[in-house]
């Protein structure tokens, strides 16, 4: 937190190429620390790509400051988060004895997983779908995320949301049981949205309900945050076929576009598979709020979640309460 605050007064960095998955994270899967085998699920191509050129977008976190001037200082904040991510990833890749873990390490893991989940291109796209719906319902309070006069608007909305949700999301992560899955055969892959919340019957459970939130930390190890508390700092498991399958399905369904594999696993990249579906916003009407409060008809509560589908999945009541939001499909 101190290191984050110290960046407030720092100089604007020159770099405009912003990585939403740190290069240091992907290095664990790399060939000689420089390049990594990648399957592009849109083109079906498998290529060895430079770490510098994957999971990167121009000005992805360029935002407009209070003085009205755009700047890149958010990248400095992510620099602090990246240092911590590298430390936590290294820690769990080396860990032999869970009793060596300290309280700060558990908090650092929670923050790292929470931020990595939220900072991706996939989350930006889902935010755009969601925002398009909000804008159609209430154009006074929710302006479009696209404004030709302010090209940094989407980055600003996404960044603000991320940093305001970060501590609460980290809290949810730290209430879970840490498991460390070991695969001597090194079969774990990862992707451009590397914190996996596996779908159940094509719907993504909430962070509280999900049986596992999985973060592969190398081809041989994956950190899984489980919702069965066993009262230990961390539970180390040899990865069975089932656990390897959870990671594999999680990567294939959870990726935005690119799947990464180690040199030893490159031939197992699913290059012939058809990837027509990916994560989309799902909206449904219910008679209960998330806190369980009943809502009298004709009122309703719109439940937002994620689904594994070819397009946003919106099925709302026909009581005249909701306006169509065709702009959602522009971000499919």
Stretch that binds Zn ion, among 97-105, 116-124, 220-228, 314-322 (CB under 5 A): 314-322
Stretch that binds Zn ion, among 40-48, 73-81, 171-179, 280-288 (CB under 5 A): 280-288
64 vs 317, which CB is nearer to Zn ion? 317
Distance from C-alpha of 109 to C-alpha of 223, rounded to nearest angstrom: 9
Q: What is the dihedral of CA 248, 187, 124, 48, to 10 degrees?
A: -130
64 vs 316, which CB is nearer to Zn ion? 316
**Interface pick for Zn ion out of 203, 236, 285, 311 (rule CB under 5 A):** 285
Least distance CB 321 / Zn ion (angstroms):
5
Distance from C-alpha of 203 to C-alpha of 228, rounded to nearest angstrom: 21
Least distance CB 289 / Zn ion (angstroms):
13
**Residue 68 DSSP symbol:** S
Q: Rule CB under 5 A: is residue 300 a binding residue for Zn ion? A: yes
- Positive or negative: CA dihedral 325, 253, 127, 292: positive
Stretch that binds Zn ion, among 3-11, 178-186, 288-296, 298-306 (CB under 5 A): 298-306
24 vs 285, which CB is nearer to Zn ion? 285
Distance from C-alpha of 169 to C-alpha of 208, rounded to nearest angstrom: 10
Q: How far is CA 125 from the centre of its chain?
A: 11
By three-state DSSP, how is residue 107 classified? helix
Distance from C-alpha of 298 to C-alpha of 137, rounded to nearest angstrom: 17
Distance from C-alpha of 64 to C-alpha of 159, rounded to nearest angstrom: 11
Find the length of the chain. 332
240 vs 319, which CB is nearer to Zn ion? 319
Q: What does the per-residue mask of binding to Zn ion show for 234-273, with x meaning CB under 5 A?
A: ----------------------------------------
Half-sphere exposure for 175 (CA within 13 Å, toward CB)? 11
**Residue 294 DSSP symbol:** B
Stretch that binds Zn ion, among 128-136, 146-154, 229-237, 317-325 (CB under 5 A): 317-325
Stretch that binds Zn ion, among 18-26, 48-56, 160-168, 319-327 (CB under 5 A): 319-327
56 vs 302, which CB is nearer to Zn ion? 302
Size of the site for Zn ion (CB under 5 A): 5
151 vs 299, which CB is nearer to Zn ion? 299
Least distance CB 285 / Zn ion (angstroms):
3
Distance from C-alpha of 236 to C-alpha of 77, rounded to nearest angstrom: 32
**Interface pick for Zn ion out of 101, 161, 244, 317 (rule CB under 5 A):** 317
CB 174 within 8 A of CB 106: yes
Binding site for Zn ion (CB under 5 A): 285, 300, 316-317, 321
């Amino acid at each position: 937190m101190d290191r984050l605050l110290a960046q407030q007064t720092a100089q604007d960095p020159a770099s405009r190429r912003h990585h939403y998955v740190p290069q240091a994270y992907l290095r664990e899967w790399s060939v000689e620390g420089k390049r990594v085998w990648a399957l592009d699920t849109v083109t079906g191509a498998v290529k060895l790509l430079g770490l510098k050129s994957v999971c990167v977008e121009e000005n992805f976190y360029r935002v407009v400051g209070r003085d009205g001037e755009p700047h890149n200082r958010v990248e400095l904040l992510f620099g602090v988060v990246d240092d911590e991510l590298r430390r936590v990833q290294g820690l769990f890749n080396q860990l032999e004895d869970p009793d060596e873990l300290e309280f700060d390490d558990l908090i650092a893991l929670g923050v790292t997983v929470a931020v990595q989940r939220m900072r991706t291109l996939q989350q930006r796209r889902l935010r755009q779908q969601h925002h398009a719906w909000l804008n159609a319902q209430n154009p006074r309070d929710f302006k479009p995320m696209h404004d030709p006069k302010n090209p940094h608007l989407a980055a600003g909305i996404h960044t603000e949301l991320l940093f305001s949700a970060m501590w609460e999301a980290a809290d949810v992560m730290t209430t879970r049981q840490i498991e460390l899955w070991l695969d001597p055969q090194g079969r774990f892959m990862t992707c451009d949205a590397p914190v996996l919340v596996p779908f159940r019957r094509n719907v993504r459970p909430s962070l509280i309900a999900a049986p596992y939130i999985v973060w592969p930390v190398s081809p041989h190890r994956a950190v899984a945050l489980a919702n069965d508390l066993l009262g230990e700092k961390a539970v180390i498991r040899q990865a069975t076929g089932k656990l390897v399958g959870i990671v594999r399905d999680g990567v294939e369904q959870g990726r935005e576009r690119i799947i990464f594999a180690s040199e030893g696993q490159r031939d197992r990249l699913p290059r012939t598979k058809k990837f027509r579906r990916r994560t989309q916003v799902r909206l449904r009407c219910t008679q209960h709020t998330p806190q369980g409060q009943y809502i009298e008809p004709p009122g309703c509560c719109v439940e937002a979640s994620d689904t594994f589908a070819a397009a946003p999945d919106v099925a709302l009541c026909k009581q005249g309460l909701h306006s169509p939001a065709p702009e959602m499909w522009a971000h499919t």
